[in-house]
Amino acid sequence: MTSSDIIAIITTITSVSAFAIAILTFKKDRNKSNQDFLFQEKVLAYKELIFHVNFIFESFFDIMDEMLDHEGSNIKWEKFLNKESEYYDGLIADFYNSIFSALPTIPSDIYKELIKFGQDSTQFITSAFDKNEALTIEAHEKLDKNLINILIL
């Protein structure tokens, strides 16, 4: 073996090593980039879901106040709620849409709590429509517990 052969072998080994290091670095960076992207998606999904949960919970205070302060007949109450029902049903529908769009990024325990909150929200609206104060207050307390469970998770 001549010195030029040895230099060629050393150069080849160095080139292959540099290429392998470059590939490993690229894979590591790509993996980190994917993890960062998934983390950002999860944060955005949680942010949107928590916004909907809080907004629905707070907006139900308005309907509770209206129900407790309402001194008219049941017919007037039904007319009021018929106007408002589309708004509240729309809130729940938007909430479910947010859940389903975030489904790939949220764990199953959070998904179950969010669905439970949606179901209890529907129950709250139904009890408010019936103008049953005791059931409405109980449903709102249930929503409060669900909200705390969601925030804990």
User: Concatenated DSSP letters for 4-18?
Assistant: HHHHHHHHHHHHHHH
Taking the C-alpha atoms of residue 114 and residue 69, their distance in angstroms, rounded to an integer, is 30
Residues 18-40: pLDDT tens digits? 788 878 887 877 778 888 888 89
What is d(CA 50, CA 41) in angstroms, rounded to the nearest whole number?
14
Which of 24-33, 66-75, 105-114 is predicted most confidently?
Answer: 105-114
pLDDT in tens, 35-67: 888 889 888 988 999 999 989 888 888 877 777
DSSP classification of residue 131? T
The per-residue pLDDT for range 112-136, each reduced to its tens digit, is 999 999 998 888 888 777 776 777 7
Average the pLDDT over each of 13-17, 21-25, 28-32, 70-74 and give the range with the smallest value.
70-74
pTM: 0.71
Alpha carbon distance 7, 5 (integer Å): 5
The number of angstroms, rounded, from the C-alpha of 31 to the middle of its chain's C-alpha atoms is 24
147 versus 91: which is more confidently predicted? 91
- Which DSSP state fits 143? H
Domains of the chain plus CATH, in order, are: 40-152 (1.20.120)
Question: What is the percent of the chain with per-residue pLDDT over 70, rounded to a whole number?
Answer: 97
Question: What are the DSSP calls for 29-68, one per residue?
Answer: HHHHHHHHHHHHHHHHHHHHHHHHHHHHHHHHHHHHHHHH
Confidence of residue 94 (pLDDT cuts 50, 70, 90): very high
